[in-house]
Structure 1
Amino acid sequence: MRTARIRAGLPQDRLGVLIGLDEGCSSARISRYETGTHEPPFETAKNLAAALGIPAAYFYCVSDELADIILESHCLSVEELVSVLAWIRDLKQPK
């Protein structure tokens, strides 16, 4: 989450306020989410994703590579996504 926040150019306190957290505790709460001390409820994760302009699935990736794929693909058109999906399926086929 830290990477996405920094990429969006938002300090922790501003991000917290954008998703409706009290200004007095927003920075600390976002810090706890970023360090993994606390996991945000799914609704909060959706709000964070919306504020950062990324899909919520980004937060639940098991690897940095998958997270990068999600970030790179979320702005593609449906036609482009279909092409990417076909390419991925082709990669999985035995050679």
Structure 2
Amino acid sequence: MPAALPTATALGRRLRAARLAKGWTQAQLGELLLESDDPNTAAPRISRYERGMHTPDLDTIERLAKLLDLPAAYFVANSEVVAEAILVISQMSPRKQKEALSLIKQLAAERRTE
């Protein structure tokens, strides 16, 4: 019986979803990341990240985020709500980002007084 695949981490699940949203294979993303045309090394690396077998270093996360047009913080957020908030806020204009931050601070202050 083959060994069970490792459970994907939040980073792995988010990376896979972002890659699929672009319509890319693991080999395509890996080739862009590694600037290589060797799918024998590119695809397995992305697969290991997605399955949670390896965690990319911060520099690699930043390069992946740039390739996928997403903020790096999205991949390392500690909860799904925070990750989604990062995505939503990152898509706003700078003025709207400031407004959103102000509202979030307001909500946080209200919670402390309850």
Q: How many angstroms apart in 1 are the aligned matches of 2:46 and 2:34?
A: 12
The RMSD of aligned alpha carbons is 1.3
Q: 5+ unaligned residues in a row in structure 1: which ranges?
A: none
Q: Point out which structure has higher relative CO (alpha carbons under 8 A, 6+ apart).
A: 2
Look up the SS of the partner of 1:3 in the other structure: helix
Q: How does 1:14-93 map to 2 (within 5 A)?
A: 14-20=28-34, 22=36, 23=38, 24-92=40-108, 93=110
Q: How many angstroms apart in 2 are the aligned matches of 1:28 and 1:65?
A: 29
Percent of aligned pairs sharing the same letter:
36
**Given the superposition, is the C-alpha separation of residues 21 and 39 from structure 1 closer, same or farther in structure 2, using an over 3 Å criterion?**
farther
1:8 is aligned to 22
Q: How many angstroms apart in 2 are the aligned matches of 1:53 and 1:47?
A: 10
TM-score scaled by length of structure 2: 0.76
Q: How many angstroms apart in 2 are the aligned matches of 1:88 and 1:18?
A: 36
Q: 5+ unaligned residues in a row in structure 2: which ranges?
A: 1-14
Aligned residue pairs, count: 95
Between Structure 1 and Structure 2, whose CA radius of gyration is higher?
2
